[in-house]
């Protein structure tokens, strides 16, 4: 028994030595072979011992035969003019500086939000980093560019947007394919770090799927409508039909549709008006019973947005004003009948100086599933921009919820961007 | 069938209305008024030029308005300053233009900075702790008449490429501009000659090419770092430096607040002078040569008062 154990140990040691000396592939093969041999040993000790002794005897010095030499790599002839031995030949995969030229523009934007005060209905954590957005943007080829916005949240990572844009298609079309924020109004198209508040308006929370909004995989086509008077752009979008709480598809044919018509006009070089009409349609989740869409209910959303901007060009970095409003009507089918719920917000943001902004917002919205109850809110904001790449915001928010409770909160937000200089949003 | 005919008819009518007649001028869009002025000098009545930015507005912060998308959508040529001056606002306009001619790298995309003299190209490690630095160098290079000439050459070559039939016309227009510019340069040099080596302060780093060309020495900036508003500690340091070195002039762009510069000037017994950094920055600077006429004459008369030369 002791002799057999010694032999087993010797075999293992020999095998280990052999493994260390061989390549990874051989190592793996040796381990598998050894495992099989040990199994066999368990079944028939004497037979295996004999086999091992025989095998050991066959090996000179107890060493396994050397691994066959790797076949010589075929070498290509260096073409004329390619540099030759003295010249610099391209080394593909080499992490040299030139290989980074085609890397996309990268940036990360942190969005830190704190909340104090009491809110029984929709309490946000006292301190949170709800979103860190990483963006990757580059030209794909002569015909397209691509944009990716990855959202790193406390729940995980998701592609907030990821799409290819064909900017110069025939017929004056601008096409995006991928996951995009739908062109429903203004707030829905805006990432969290772009909006002038620490939160989203109640109408967005109640009727347009909150922070995520209508964001889905789909195809978007936009075209300018030529006319002598105003800028007019029509956008049509088809999505898979899954947007959080708002739309849910149970069949391939349950696509959601979004349409947007935008009109813009310069009243003067300092003042302009932006008007939009939006429509969205899709299947909702109200008809689901035990995971099956029994009701086959749909939701229609109608939106109206208006923005007035004032920015005197000679003092454009010091003073500006933006007035915004968005109104949404949600027509949601559900068990018990259709609910038609309206909601809106009105806001004004004034730039006090180069680094200081202040704003007011008034919110009012019914609930999508019960048009008879309403939430209302008012907010005051003060924002400080240390530079183009960071901002600090405080927001006093008073909300009266339909449940009867009132929330008085102070939200504070730190936003900070590193990396490539992004374009300003208009 | 009838409907298809009507639709086709409407589309054809739209195409006819929107098509540019063969003899029409080339449509050029530029990011700044300076590039528009230089394009007009070379292109004459063979081009129709519009600029996104005005001469009295900060060129870093032009807004990408939808009305600019309309201009971009019809352009045969886009001329830009480059060196990341327009990085905050031009990319969305190009992307939304639906115009293959002016996409980055297309034949109708002209970066005017490729053959000019660029100053202040940073070396070593660059971080945003240095402010809003331009990694590819100072983009305010058009404020050197020599660079204006080089930009005009690039525009001449590009217009000739896009409209070969008018090559001789553009060449003749360029030669005429070159001659007028050279004559003006002699005049400007003579006007500025007494003030060579005079030390001044500017608000932003908009003037390195201009000051180098006319031999003035910029010893400091009202901004502590590019794009960062004045801070009390930096302002005190600057006042100290100006007093030590006997600097009496602060040059300010028309879009910056003059409150801090005036406070500094009152401390050092100096003057604040608003110069035009671009064509259209003031009424008198209606074209590229007039821009330098205004800046050189205004600067010289102010320096004369200060230095007594």
The Cα-based distances of A115 to A193, A379, A396, A408, B169 in angstroms read 17, 14, 10, 10, 67
SS (H, E, C) chain A: CHHHHHHHHHHHHHHHHHHHHCCHHHHHHHHHHHHHHHHHHHHCHHHHHHHHHHHHHHCHHHCCCCCCCCCCCCCCCCCCCCCCCCCCCCCCCCCCHHHHCCCCEEEEEEEEEEEEEECCCCCCCCEEEEEEEEEEEEEEECCEEEEEEEEEECCEEEEEEEEEEEEEEHHHEEEEEEEEECCCCCCCCCCCCCCCCCCCCHHHHHHCCCCCCCEEEEEEEEEECCCCCCEEEEEEEEECCCECCCECCCCCCCCEEEEEEEEEEECCCCEEEEEEEEEEEEECCCCEECCEECCCCEEEEEEEEEEEEECCHHHCCCCEEEEEEEEEEEEEEECCEEEEEEEEEEEEEEECCCCEEEEEEEEEEEECCEEEEEEEEEEEEEEEEEECCEEEEEEEEEEECCCCCEEEEEEEEEEEEEECCCCCCC
Non-local CB neighbours of A87 within 8 Å, separated by 6+ positions: none
A356 close to B (CB below 8 A): no
Kindly calculate the radius of gyration of chain B based on its CA atoms and give it in whole angstroms.
22
- Same domain, yes or no, for B157 and B131? yes
Kindly calculate the radius of gyration of chain A based on its CA atoms and give it in whole angstroms.
32
Residues 246 through 275 of chain A touching chain B, CB cutoff 8 Å: 262, 264-266, 269, 272, 274
Per-residue model confidence (pLDDT) at position A321: 98
- Name which of A65-79, A121-135, B79-93, B133-147 the model is least confident about: A65-79
Q: With CB atoms and an 8 Å threshold, state whether A313 touches B57.
A: yes
Query: How many CA atoms are closer than 13 Å to the CA of A194, on its beta-carbon side?
Result: 13
Instruction: Give residue A37's pLDDT band: very low, low, confident or very high (50, 70, 90).
Output: low
Q: How many Å from the N-terminal Cα to the C-terminal Cα in chain A?
A: 84
Which of the residues B84, B128, B228 would you substitute to probe the A interface, choosing the one with the greatest number of A C-beta atoms within 10 Å? B128
- Same domain, yes or no, for B170 and B66? yes
d(CA A54, CA A47): 11
- Same domain, yes or no, for B216 and B240? yes
Instruction: Give residue A33's pLDDT band: very low, low, confident or very high (50, 70, 90).
Output: low
- Same domain, yes or no, for B262 and B216? yes
Q: With CB atoms and an 8 Å threshold, state whether A311 touches B227.
A: no
**Angle, nearest 10°, between helix axes A2-21 and A45-58?**
50
Please count the other Cβ atoms lying within 10 Å of the Cβ belonging to residue A332: 23
Range A22-50 average pLDDT: 56
Strands B77-80, B26-30: pairing is parallel
Instruction: Give residue A55's pLDDT band: very low, low, confident or very high (50, 70, 90).
Output: low
- Same domain, yes or no, for B178 and B255? no
Residue A315 has pLDDT above 70, yes or no: yes
Q: With CB atoms and an 8 Å threshold, state whether B57 touches A233.
A: no
Q: Is the dihedral of CA A382, A384, A390, A392 positive or negative?
A: negative
Q: Which residues of chain B lie closer than 8 angstroms to A168, CB-CB?
A: 97-100, 103
Instruction: Identify whether B3 is part of a domain.
Output: no
Give percent above pLDDT 70 in chain B.
93
Q: With CB atoms and an 8 Å threshold, state whether B61 touches A316.
A: yes
Q: Which helix (H) or strand (E) holds B209?
A: helix B208-213
d(CA B277, CA B299): 12
d(CA A190, CA A181): 8
A224 close to B (CB below 8 A): yes
| Residues B25/B48, Cβ–Cβ less than 8 Å | yes
Per-residue model confidence (pLDDT) at position B204: 96
Q: Distance (Å) from the C-alpha of residue A346 to the closest C-alpha of chain B?
A: 22
Residue A304 has pLDDT above 60, yes or no: yes
Strands A337-351, A320-334: pairing is antiparallel
Q: Which residues of chain B lie closer than 8 angstroms to A272, CB-CB?
A: 65, 67
- Same domain, yes or no, for B255 and B295? yes
pLDDT tens-place string over residues B150-178: 999 999 999 999 999 999 999 999 999 99
Q: With CB atoms and an 8 Å threshold, state whether A426 touches B61.
A: no
Q: Is the dihedral of CA A313, B131, A385, B82 positive or negative?
A: positive
Residue A286 has pLDDT above 80, yes or no: yes
| Residues B292/B282, Cβ–Cβ less than 8 Å | no
- Same domain, yes or no, for B143 and B199? no
Nearest CA in chain B to A424: B88
Domain edge (last residue) among B186, B213, B236: B186
Q: Which residues of chain A lie closer than 8 angstroms to B67, CB-CB?
A: 231, 264-266, 272
Range A68-84 average pLDDT: 40
Spell out a b/e string for A117-129, using b for 16 or more CB atoms within 10 Å of the CB, else e: eebeeeebeeeee
Q: With CB atoms and an 8 Å threshold, state whether A314 touches B56.
A: yes
The domain tally of chain B equals 2
pLDDT tens-place string over residues B216-234: 999 999 999 999 999 999 9
pLDDT tens-place string over residues A334-370: 999 999 999 999 999 999 999 999 999 999 999 999 9
d(CA A248, CA A283): 6
- Same domain, yes or no, for B26 and B76? yes
Per-residue model confidence (pLDDT) at position A386: 93
A138 close to B (CB below 8 A): no
CATH of the domain at B168: 3.40.50.1980
Residue A31 has pLDDT above 60, yes or no: no
CATH node for A109-419: 2.40.160.10
A418 close to B (CB below 8 A): yes
Does this model's pTM top 0.90? My answer is no
Nearest CA in chain B to A171: B98
Per-residue model confidence (pLDDT) at position A67: 41
Q: Distance (Å) from the C-alpha of residue A322 to the closest C-alpha of chain B?
A: 13
A166 close to B (CB below 8 A): no
Which of B63, B228, B257 has the CB atom closest to A311's CB atom? B63
Location of structure tokens 């240095």:
B130
Q: Distance (Å) from the C-alpha of residue A259 to the closest C-alpha of chain B?
A: 18
Contacts 24+ apart (CB under 8 A), B18-22: B18/A226
Nearest CA in chain B to A269: B54
Residue B19 has pLDDT above 80, yes or no: no
Instruction: Give residue A111's pLDDT band: very low, low, confident or very high (50, 70, 90).
Output: very high
Q: Distance (Å) from the C-alpha of residue B48 to the closest C-alpha of chain A?
A: 18
- Same domain, yes or no, for B156 and B250? no
Angle (nearest 5°) at CA B258 between B255 and B262 = 160
Instruction: Identify whether B301 is part of a domain.
Output: yes
DSSP codes joined into one string, B2-34:
HHHHHHHHHHHHHHHHHSPPTTSPEEEEESSHH
Q: Which helix (H) or strand (E) holds B219?
A: strand B217-221
Per-residue model confidence (pLDDT) at position B61: 94
Strands B109-111, B217-221: pairing is unpaired
Q: How many CB pairs under 8 A join A and B?
A: 106
Per-residue model confidence (pLDDT) at position B109: 97
- Name which of B16-20, B272-276, B294-298 the model is least confident about: B16-20
Per-residue model confidence (pLDDT) at position B24: 73
Q: Which residues of chain B lie closer than 8 angstroms to A231, CB-CB?
A: 66-67, 69-70
Non-local CB neighbours of B12 within 8 Å, separated by 6+ positions: none
Instruction: Identify whether B7 is part of a domain.
Output: no
Give residue B149's domain range. Answer: 15-186
Torsion angles phi and psi, residue A75, rounded to 5: -110, 140
Per-residue model confidence (pLDDT) at position B34: 98
Nearest CA in chain B to A140: B104
- Same domain, yes or no, for B144 and B204? no
Q: Which residues of chain A lie closer than 8 angstroms to B95, CB-CB?
A: 145, 165, 167, 174
Both structure tokens of A378: 């008012």
Q: Which residues of chain B lie closer than 8 angstroms to A354, CB-CB?
A: 229, 257
For chain A, the average pLDDT equals 85
The domain spans of chain A are 2-62, 109-419
- Same domain, yes or no, for B81 and B126? yes
Please count the other Cβ atoms lying within 10 Å of the Cβ belonging to residue A274: 20
- Same domain, yes or no, for B247 and B285? yes
Per-residue model confidence (pLDDT) at position A82: 39
Residue A79 has pLDDT above 50, yes or no: no
Q: How many Å from the N-terminal Cα to the C-terminal Cα in chain B?
A: 85
Both structure tokens of A78: 């260096």
ipTM of predicted complex? 0.88
Domain edge (last residue) among B167, B186, B205: B186
Per-residue model confidence (pLDDT) at position B252: 97
Domain edge (last residue) among B161, B186, B211: B186
* Residues of chain B by 3-state class (helix, strand, coil), percent to 5: 50, 10, 35
Instruction: Identify whether B9 is part of a domain.
Output: no
Residue A254 has pLDDT above 80, yes or no: yes
Give percent above pLDDT 70 in chain A.
77
Q: With CB atoms and an 8 Å threshold, state whether A173 touches B98.
A: yes
Non-local CB neighbours of B51 within 8 Å, separated by 6+ positions: B29, B30, B31, B32, B33, B35, B36
């Amino acid at each position: 028994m002791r002799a057999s154990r010694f032999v087993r140990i010797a075999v293992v040691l020999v095998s280990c030595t052999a493994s260390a000396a061989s390549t990874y592939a051989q190592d793996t093969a040796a381990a598998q072979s050894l495992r099989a041999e040990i199994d066999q040993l368990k079944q028939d000790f004497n037979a295996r011992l004999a086999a091992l002794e025989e095998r050991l005897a066959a090996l000179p010095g107890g060493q396994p035969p050397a691994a066959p030499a790797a076949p010589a790599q075929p070498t290509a002839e260096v073409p004329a003019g390619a540099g030759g031995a003295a010249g610099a030949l391209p080394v593909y995969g080499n992490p040299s500086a030139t290989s980074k030229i085609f890397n996309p523009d990268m940036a990360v934007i942190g969005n830190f939000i704190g909340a104090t005060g009491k809110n029984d209905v929709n309490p946000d954590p006292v301190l949170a980093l709800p979103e860190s957005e990483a963006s990757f943007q580059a030209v794909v080829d002569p015909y397209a560019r691509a944009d990716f916005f990855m959202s790193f949240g406390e729940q995980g990572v998701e592609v907030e947007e990821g799409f290819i844009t064909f900017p110069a298609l025939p017929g004056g079309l601008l096409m995006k394919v991928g996951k995009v924020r739908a062109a429903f109004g203004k707030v829905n198209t805006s990432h969290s770090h772009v909006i002038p508040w620490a939160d989203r308006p109640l109408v967005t929370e109640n009727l347009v799927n909150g922070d995520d909004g209508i964001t889905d995989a789909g195809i978007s086509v936009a075209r300018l409508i030529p006319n002598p008077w105003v800028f007019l752009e029509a956008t049509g979008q088809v999505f898979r039909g899954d947007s959080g709480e708002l739309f849910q598809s149970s069949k391939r044919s349950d696509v959601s549709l979004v349409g947007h018509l935008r009109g813009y006009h310069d009243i003067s070089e300092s003042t302009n008006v932006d008007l939009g009409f939006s429509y969205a349609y899709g299947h909702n989740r109200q008809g689901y019973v035990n995971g099956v869409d029994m009701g086959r209910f749909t939701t229609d959303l109608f939106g109206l947005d208006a923005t007035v901007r004032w920015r005197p060009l000679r003092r454009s970095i010091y003073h500006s004003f933006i007035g915004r409003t968005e109104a949404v009507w949600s027509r949601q089918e559900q068990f018990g009948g259709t609910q038609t719920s309206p909601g809106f917000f009105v806001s004004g943001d004034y730039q006090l100086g180069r680094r200081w902004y202040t704003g007011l917002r008034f919110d009012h919205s019914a609930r999508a599933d019960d048009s008879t109850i309403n939430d209302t809110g008012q907010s005051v904001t003060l924002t400080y921009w240390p530079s183009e790449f960071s901002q600090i915001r405080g927001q006093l928010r008073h909300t009266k919820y339909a449940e009867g409770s009132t929330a008085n909160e102070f939200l504070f937000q730190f936003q900070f961007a590193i990396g490539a200089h992004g374009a300003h949003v208009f | 069938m009838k409907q298809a005919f009507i639709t086709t008819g409407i589309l054809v009518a739209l195409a006819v209305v929107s098509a540019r007649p063969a003899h029409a001028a080339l449509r050029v869009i530029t990011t700044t008024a300076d590039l528009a002025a230089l394009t007009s000098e070379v292109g004459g009545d063979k081009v129709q030029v519009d600029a996104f930015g005005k001469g009295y507005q900060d060129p870093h912060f032009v807004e990408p308005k939808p009305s600019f998308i309309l201009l971009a959508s019809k352009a045969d040529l886009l001329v830009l300053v480059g060196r990341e001056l327009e990085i905050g606002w031009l990319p969305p306009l190009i992307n939304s233009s639906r115009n293959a001619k002016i996409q980055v790298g297309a034949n109708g995309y002209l970066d005017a900075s490729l053959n000019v003299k660029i100053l202040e190209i940073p070396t070593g490690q660059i971080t945003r702790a240095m402010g809003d630095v331009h990694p590819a160098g100072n983009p305010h290079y058009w404020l050197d008449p020599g660079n204006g000439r080089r930009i005009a050459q690039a525009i001449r070559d590009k217009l000739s490429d896009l409209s070969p039939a008018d090559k001789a016309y553009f060449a003749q227009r360029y030669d005429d501009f070159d001659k007028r510019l050279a004559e003006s340069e002699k005049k400007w040099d003579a006007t500025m000659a007494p003030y060579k080596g005079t030390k001044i302060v500017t608000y932003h780093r908009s003037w390195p090419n201009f000051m180098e060309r006319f031999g003035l020495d910029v010893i400091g900036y009202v901004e502590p770092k590019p794009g960062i508003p004045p801070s009390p500690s930096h302002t005190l340091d600057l006042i100290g430096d100006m007093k030590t070195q006997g600097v009496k002039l602060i040059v300010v762009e028309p879009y910056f607040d003059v409150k801090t510069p005036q406070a500094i000037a009152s401390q050092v017994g100096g003057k604040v002078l608003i110069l035009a950094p671009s064509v259209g920055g003031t009424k008198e600077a209606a074209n590229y040569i007039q821009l330098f006429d205004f800046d050189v004459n205004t600067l010289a008369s102010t320096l004369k008062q200060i230095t007594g030369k």
